[in-house]
Structure 1
Amino acid sequence: MDECKTERREETSGETELPSVPKSPSKCSKGKDSSIALNFRPINNQGETRLKTFTRDFKSRWSFKDTRKSVKEDSTRVKMDESNKETRNANAKTEFPGKCIEGVGDKDSPPVDDQEENLPLPFSRVHKIMQSFRNGSSLKEKSFEETGASKTSSKLFSLALVLKWQEDGDQATKETESMPEENQTFGREECVQKEPLSVMQINELIQKRQLLEAFEHIRDLEIELLAEREAKKYEDNLKNYMARAKDVDLLYKNLSKEIQDIVEQMLDRSSMDAKVLIEKMVALIEEEEKAHSGATNITVPSEPVDRLGLARNWRELWEKMVSESVTKRIHKVHIPLKDDPSWLLTHLGFLKNVVRQDLLTIKDSIHKFYPDDYCAYDIYLKAFHEALSLHLQDILEAQDSFESYEFHAVLHWVTKVYHSEEFLGHPDLQPELKTEDLPSLLTPEVLDKLKKDYIHSVKRKTKSCLENIQILEAKEKWDSEEQPEALQSQYNSSLSFDIQTIVGEHMKASGKICKNLEMAVLEMSVKEVTEFIPCFGKAFLEQDKVKDYPQFASLMVAYLNNFHDLRMDFRTRFNVSCEELEKNLDELILRYRKYFLNKLMLKTQLMFKKILSKAWIINSRTLDSFIMKILGVIEDFSQHLKNLKEPICKEFLNEVHKFVVKEYIRQILKPKARMKRTKRELISRIMTQEAATINDTMKHLGSNADWLFLAIPHIATIMSEKEKGKIKCYLEQLAWNYPDISEEHMMAILTLRGLSKKKRQSIARHVNRPSDELESGSGRTLFAEIELPNNIQCF
């Protein structure tokens, strides 16, 4: 009794210590009689007995079936148990347990008085709770204000306060009858609320990938925190609110990280693991979308307190993580050392194999576990497409200078390989893989720049290859003093073959990409060859001027043949118009011919000067004559011309033939002293004979310029003609055969005949000559190329 009095004094003095209350709200369970029972842990056995009585009273008070009984009957039962009042008051410090136990309702429980002071302490607290609910104030706020208990202790009966307590029994009966049937049976239904877990406990669930359970607890914390914020509970304790909001946000972030990890690991998982993880992740995403349906999406980074209650956009996060995981896989593909010329081609091959295998894995083991509205296969394909596009652009931007084969590798891979059966068009990927809506792997701007860079690199490589050809020719042939052993090798340089091979390879490579690129490369190649040919020909002639190659003629013939092949093959093989190239080739051939004839003149100039000299006359009928020496040198030096390809061969030999006739006439028309008739007749006979020798020798060499044969004999006839009347006839025949003869040339021939100046002028002026049209139409020139000295003697 003393102990009871002591406890009462402590309670009266306000120093009574409240029992510790678990943080979790009480769980309600379904009893046999569908009643709600509370479990109180008494301090002693006596209190336990009284607690049972109180429990029956409380259950009877809360039962929907017994609400129709009057409050007075309940008061009667309470009075019957009045003798136990002091004992119950002595045990007012009863500790409330965290969980409810099942109890059996007792209809014979003693009546309870409505007056609060007549109730046991636990019942008195319940009555206060009911009263506060009636007055519109929450139990949590009232308990906090009156007792100063912890915030979690105020939650003990929050879920039990779903019915409005009516003070008047009759009124309660009426309202109960008017309630829907489903509300009337509330006390019989299961009402289970999970215990709130700590942040650490929820995080452990996340780490164990119990994602749905973890989400439910996080959502409970979020709802509770939002409710408390609406109640303005944290106005004076904003720091506590911020801390709790950060905890909720951190747990959501940890869940989102699990989504990221699942997506990243997906392609490396077995089919069974992938199925389990995908189902967990999809269920979590859909649960979050339901929980935050109608809420504003989180669009920009913000403070945790600002994100509270907002939708987490986890489906967008999933798509983003698919993209990031694919990008990481692309970046992990092996890149060989760039010292290897084929490094880029090898890397692109690795990319093709890795991406194709991943797409096969997605088709067979991943996308079928996603709901149809996720369009998982299309999302993965789009992610791989974008990742490959960015990866290729990074490769192109990272290189200061690509070689042509590296540009070609990228272009061919993008335009041909990517959509081929080797890659996206692989039969095993069909028909699920839809590539129709995919944009170009590289943007049109990037692709155009890549093509221009490729053409520029091909141009640079072509120029370099042509320069190497020239260097190789100079090293192997120009600087070598040895003649080629085989005649065939003398006149068949690999120049044309090498040039055509270079152009052909570039055309073949670019043609694999597209026709337009092939034509652009061909046009560029022709331009480079067009610029190279004159440079090559000039370099060869300049080297010969310095060294006077003994093998000059054979090399010249070989190059001329190659130039001819280039002209013909570019027309037929490449089917391209190369007028500029042909023009340059014609100019180079003409230049070679002039250079050859100039070398020929240097070799025969001294011998030609002997014509009409005494030595020439004396030796004219011997094998040691000057003309035979001249023809010997010419024939020896020009024999290589026989191996020229037509029509260059005839053109060259005809020019050599004209060169001999022209130089012979030039020496004849030089001013001489007047000759006696007998000497003129002798010279005339010698000239006629030598004209025949020249003609026969040049025809044997290969010339077909028969029109040159009559020039020397005509002059010889005029020199020996006695009758002055016939001289005019012979002169007119000469003018008709060679329309380019001028009056000065006629005057020089007549001077050689020994006529006076007056007679020469008279004859020359009255010679009938062909018209200018006939002269220009013949296309033949001989006398026009013979320059006369200015100091023609007049006698």
Structure 2
Amino acid sequence: MMDESTTERTETNGKMELPSEPKSASKCLGGEGGDIALNSPHLNNQRETGLKILTQDFKRRLSFRKDTLKSVKEDSIRVKMDKIKNETREANVNTECLQTELPAKCKEDEEKKCFQEDSPPMDNQDDNEPQALRRGLKIIPSFRNGTSFKVKSAEGIGFTRSNSKRFSMGLFKRKEDGDQASKENKSIPEEDKPFGREGVQNEPLSVMQINDLIQKRQLLEAFKHIRDLEGELLAEREAKKYEEHPKEYTVRAKDVDLLYESLSKEIQHIVEDTLDLSSMDAKALIEMMVALIEEEEKVHGGAAAITVPSEPVTKLGLARNWREHWKKTVNESVNKRILKVHIPLKDDATWLLTHLGFLKNAVRQDLLTIKDSIHKFYPDNYRVCDTYLKAFHEALSLHLQGILQGGNSFESHEFHAILDWVTNVYHSEGLLGHPDLQPEIKTEDLPSLLTPEVLDKLEKDYIHSVKLKTKSCLENIQILEAKEKWDSEEQPEALQSQYHSSLSFDIQTIVGEHMKASGKICKNLETAVLEMSVKEVTRFIPCFGKAFLEQDKEKNYPQFASLMVTYVNNFYDLRMEFRTRFNVNCEELEKTLNDLIVRYRKYFLNKLMLKTQLIFKKILSQAWIINSRTLDSFIMKILLVIEDFSQHLKHLKEPIFKEFLNEVHKFVVKEYITQVLKTKSRMKRTKRELVSRIMTQEATTINDTMMHLGSNAEWLFPAIPDIASIISEKEKGKIKYYLERLAWNYPDIREEHMMAILTLRGLKQTKRQSVARHVNRPSVELEFTSGRTLFADIEFPNTIWCFESFCR
């Protein structure tokens, strides 16, 4: 046997070198523990024959790699049997065969070269064949396990795969020293092992093979092989292998990045699928995904916060932040689920309300699934319920904002539907507040579903839409009133002896519905809607009143009085009930309604004046004097017209009824006095006394008639008798007394009125002025605070006829 020093191997520049011994089969084969000399020609021939048989057997086995597992099992059983038979025959052979591994892609000519020997063939080849087969079977498992190898030829030349870390050199001892080699291998420090490998290095799969693993959702296995490829590429980059071929490096880096992207997409698919799968299937996928994420975090511990570059070349070796990718995927998948909720056709008036109902049911069901069947498969640190709740919250916010962006044509009920959903439905028991979601679904820290700016704009849009709807409804009311009542000769309905229509009720109903709807959302919105509604009603009422009067001027409706009474009753109801029912500041509306009632009353009196004007002009005429003692007197004609035209006033509500009758009473007295003061006829003393008596009698008739109709303006009665007394009074001192009494009863009387009365009495101009100037009159304040005006509305020409020639 040869000395160990003569067979010791040396290492130069990372390559194994052999000693300068004769390059023949008779030289020793060195193991890690030392060399064994094989000088026997018989053994050399036996080894040569065995290697040839081994080569032929191995070439045959390479052609059947697809059936490797089956063939290896069968061959192993056969070889074990042969081994038992030949153990005694081979007992004197104390050698160690070098176990080798050929790469899968080794060419046929390389195999021949690796096992070529210079010795002549052995004569006893048949006897040694079982031993050669046994050695071949030792090689096959090591090849399948990816064991690195080095073969020493007859010339002592070593063949290695030096360009890739997937192949590493190693020599193995004979079988009895195998356990010791395994222990030594385990003792290698972790940092000295190749990237992404543990213990013995496996040959990485191809890109397509790894992609097949991903498609089969063998994610952990695929991840390990991707790490192997990544580690190999990084090592080659460190060795500056690609300095002359940078494009090749870029292509390989892109391949690795694409594989990582495929894993990322599988994470995305798992997240998207789990909400629709059974609990058992979801559990398997989630646990596999979580294991993958945690494995990636384990490899890149502490690097999860690092931003991953966008270029594949710069991504190598960096953390992929798959937990963040998971969160992002949760958000994206939730957003997709929200967008899949059915939206009915917008031709349906209730499309938005229906869609929001579908949205509520879909979100609630998904949250229940997450709470009951999903979150328990995740580790606690994933905070699954909170993550999904936040994702749904953000997705719903974006979805609603998207709906509002197309809301230019929305009506008030559509804006209201969104507002109600955001403020009431979202946190109700029908959705986030559902009892089955508690306590995992926590909504305390959720922000508003819509930002304050968006919510403020939504409320303004809603108020504006309510304004347009209110305006439209009020205009429709006016159109219906004109069509059904103004152009009809039917009298209005009487409710409890009062003319009644739905005008006030319809207006209050419109305002009440908007107030109720907005009040369900919030108190501030209710107040804003109510104030807006009051303004719209305040704008509408004068327009409505004006339209009715203008139509009457044009068509002279025969039922004008009854319609006027009906509308005045409605105006009064609005004035009284708006404040009490809606508890809102209605000062402007009340003033508008009061002004409209006064306007209607004046219009009524104006029509009354047109009917009686010609008769009033007969007062103090000769015909008036002649007919004063008959039932056909002019005053009776006037009162009959007034009574007939005013009969509908009895259907007015109190106190409007009294106000109207008092004004009619005042109208009669005022028109009577106006005709008296405008008289141009000259009267002798006897005629003045007759006129005085007739005026006193007619004053009583007027007062009695108007009291019978319902007036309570008794303060009007003394006016005509006092003027009559002045006309017939002989004593000038009493004339002054009657004037003062008239002035105190009617503070609005002016000096020109007194001058006209004194002129009718027949006093000279100087005397009239003297008397008028010395009359004791009330203060100006009393004139404006009494609330009684009679003479202020009496106008007559500036020229006052003087009857000085008749004065005595």
Q: TM-score, normalised by structure 2?
A: 0.79
Deviation at 1:345, TM superposition (A): 0.7
One-letter amino acid matched to 1:622: T
Cα deviation, residue 205, structure 1: 1.6
Match of 1:705 among 698, 713, 720: 713
Residue in 1 that maps onto 2:689: 681
The question of whether the paired residues in 1 share the 8 Å contact of 2:474 and 2:507 is answered with yes
TM-superposed CA distance for 1:703, in Å, is: 0.7
Correspondence for 2:333 among 300, 317, 325: 325
Q: What amino acid is the match of 1:329?
A: R
The letter of the residue matching 2:373 is S
1:160 aligns with 2:170: yes
Corresponding residue number in structure 1 for 2:106 = none
Q: Say which is worse superposed, 222-231 or 195-204, in terms of deviation.
A: 195-204
- What is the CA deviation profile of residues 12-60 of structure 1, one whole-angstrom value per residue up to 9, with x for unaligned ones? xxxxxxxxxxxxxxxxxxxxxxxxxxxxxxxxxxxxxx99x99xx76x8
Q: Aligned AA for 2:213?
A: L
Distance in 1 of aligned mates of 2:497 and 2:484: 13
Partner of 1:291: 299
Question: Does the CA contact (< 8 Å) of 1:81 and 1:110 recur in 2?
Answer: no
Q: Say whether the 8 Å CA contact 1:297–1:310 is kept in structure 2.
A: no
Note if contact 2:727-2:760 (Cα within 8 Å) is conserved in structure 1.
yes
Aligned AA for 2:319?
Answer: A
CA RMSD of aligned residues (A): 3.7
Give the aligned residue type for 2:779: S
- Say yes or no: does 1:84 pair with 2:92: no
Q: Pick from 647, 656, 667: which aligns with 2:655?
A: 647
Alignment partner of 1:288: what SS?
helix
1:592 has 2:552 as partner: no
Determine whether 1:637 maps to 2:645.
yes
8 Å contact kept, 2:739–2:775: yes
User: 1:139·1:154 contact (CA, 8 Å) conserved in 2?
Assistant: no
Q: CA offsets per residue over residues 630-671 of structure 1, 9 Å max, x none?
A: 001111111222222222221211111111001001111114
Q: CA deviation at 1:626?
A: 0.8
Contact 2:493 2:501 (C-alpha < 8 Å) held by counterparts: no
Q: Which residue of 1 aligns with 2:376?
A: 368
Distance 1:81 1:375, change over 3 A: farther
For 2:471, the aligned partner's letter is: K
2:386 is the alignment partner of 1:378: yes
Taking the aligned partners of 1:156 and 1:219, their CA distance within structure 2 comes to 12
Which residue number in structure 2 is paired with residue 20 of structure 1?
A: none
What is the aligned-residue identity percentage? 75
Alignment match, 1:28: none
Whether 1:531 and 2:539 are equivalent positions in the alignment is yes
Paired with 2:523 and 2:401, the residues of 1 have a C-alpha distance of 24
Q: What is aligned with 1:547?
A: 555
Name which of 666, 669, 679 aligns with 2:677.
Answer: 669
The 3 A distance-change label for structure 1 pair 382 and 295 is closer
Structure 2 match to 1:388: 396
In structure 1, distance between residues paired with 2:184 and 2:287: 42
Q: State yes or no: 1:567 paired with 2:575.
A: yes
Structure 1 residues 752 and 262, CA, compared in 2 at 3 Å: closer, same or farther? same
Long gaps (5+) in structure 2: 1-23, 63-67, 97-112, 119-147, 174-179, 190-197
3-state DSSP class of the match of 2:500? coil
SS at match of 2:646: helix
Q: Which of 333, 338, 355 is the equivalent residue of 2:346?
A: 338
**Structure with more relative contact order (C-alpha pairs < 8 Å, separation 6 or more):** 1
Q: Distance in 2 between matches of 1:636 and 1:772?
A: 39
5+ residue gaps in structure 1? 1-49, 113-119, 126-137, 164-174, 185-189
Task: Name the SS for the 1:361 alignment partner.
Answer: helix
8 Å Cα contact 1:94/1:122 also seen in 2: no
Q: Is residue 2:409 matched to residue 1:398?
A: no
SS at 1:439's partner residue? coil
CA contact (8 A) 1:370 1:376 kept: yes
When residues 272 and 152 of structure 1 are mapped into structure 2, their CA distance, relative to the original with a 3 A threshold, is farther
Q: CA–CA distance in 1 between the matches of 2:729 and 2:776?
A: 19
Determine helix, strand or coil for the equivalent of 1:491: strand
Q: Deviations over 1:47-95 (max 9, x none)?
A: xxx99x99xx76x833xxxx4xxx6xx45x3334587279749968974
Superposed, which structure 2 residues align to 1:19-418 within 5 Å? 61-62=31-32, 67=33, 74=35, 77-80=37-40, 84=44, 88=48, 95=55, 158=168, 160=170, 192-294=200-302, 299=307, 302-418=310-426
Structure 1 contact 740–784 (Cα < 8 Å) conserved: yes
Q: Is the 8 A contact 2:166 2:202 kept in 1?
A: no
Measure the CA separation in 2 of the matches of 1:147 and 1:445.
81
CA separation of 1:152 and 1:494: change in aligned 2, threshold 3 A: farther
Question: CA 1:108–1:680 in 2, change beyond 3 Å: closer, same or farther?
Answer: same
Deviations 1:253-284 (A, max 9, x none): 22221111111111110011001111111111
* Count of paired positions: 698
- Over residues 440-472 of structure 1, what are the superposed CA-to-partner deviations in whole Å (9 max), with x where a residue is unaligned? 111111011111111111111111111111111
Structure 1 residue 520 corresponds to structure 2 residue 480: no
- The aligned counterpart of 1:168 is none
Candidates 451, 456, 471, aligned match of 1:443: 451
Contact 1:92–1:121 (CA<8 Å) still a contact in 2?
no
Cα distance in 2 for partners of 1:459, 1:437 equals 36
Residue in structure 2 matched with residue 758 of structure 1 by the alignment: 766
Cα deviation for residue 619 of structure 1 reads: 1.3
**Corresponding residue for 2:503?**
495
Whether the aligned pair in 2 keeps the contact of 1:79 and 1:111 (CA below 8 Å) is no
Matched, 1:474 2:482: yes
